[in-house]
Amino acid sequence: MINKKVEDILNAQINKEFYSAYLYLAMSAYFDEIGLKGFSHWTKVQAKEEVDHGMILFDYIIERDGNVDLRQIESPSKNFENPTQTFELILEHEKSVTDSIKCVAELSEDECDMATRHFINWYITEQVEEEATVLDVIKMLKMFGTDTPILYHIDKELAKREYKEHSYKNK
């Protein structure tokens, strides 16, 4: 059975992952509104991955004979000014998720729940990849500017992103 403190922090993390999906969907809608379909696609794929992340935690709690406590999901911000600023918000958000995952790791270790401590390593690796990917997009946007031909090219690149289901079973 899972430790109660660890169960609580994992339930809070589920909420953060589902909030992340909502945030990416809000960004996707913004990108659709301004005609950047590739950017919209990229954020929709990210939203699907965030749902997967939440479900992996969900399944893990159940597997450990814990109780899943689904909480209300906060409405995401809609204050998006341009693609660069939006991706900077994404990076800021992903860094906050990374900090949250680190707290799960620390608590798991403090509570001597080595199964969860081992399990959460996948999330730590995932966060490194997510932050690096977002940083690459920000660098492109800043290096090349945001004139229409450049945005068109970046939009086409982001449209190539493929969704790959993240699963508890294929970690």
Q: Would you say the pTM of this structure is higher than 0.85?
A: yes
Alpha carbon of residue 13 to chain centroid: 11
pLDDT of residue 20: 98
pLDDT of residue 149: 86
Quick check: 31 and 144 in contact, CB under 8 A?
A: no
Q: Which two tokens stand for residue 50?
A: 């965030």
DSSP letters for 127-171: HHHHHHHHHHHHHHHHHH---HHHHHHHHHHHTT-------GGG-
Query: Sign (positive/negative) of CA torsion 152, 153, 155, 160?
Result: positive
What whole-number distance in Å separates Cα of residue 82 and Cα of residue 93? 16
**Residue pointed to by tokens 């990416």:** 24
Domain extents for the chain?
Answer: 4-71+80-166
The topology under which CATH files domain 4-71+80-166 is Ferritin (1.20.1260)
- Region of 130 (left: φ > 0; alpha: ψ -120 to 50; beta: rest) is alpha
Tokens of 32: 């659709």
pLDDT attached to residue 145 = 74
pLDDT in tens, the chain (171 residues): 899 999 999 999 999 999 999 999 999 999 999 999 999 999 999 999 999 999 999 999 999 999 999 999 999 988 999 999 999 999 999 999 999 999 999 999 999 999 999 999 999 999 999 999 999 999 999 998 777 888 999 999 999 999 888 776 544
Distance CA 42, CA 28 (A): 8
Residue 168 is predicted with a pLDDT of 61
How far apart (Å, rounded) are the C-alpha atoms in residues 13 and 19? Answer: 10
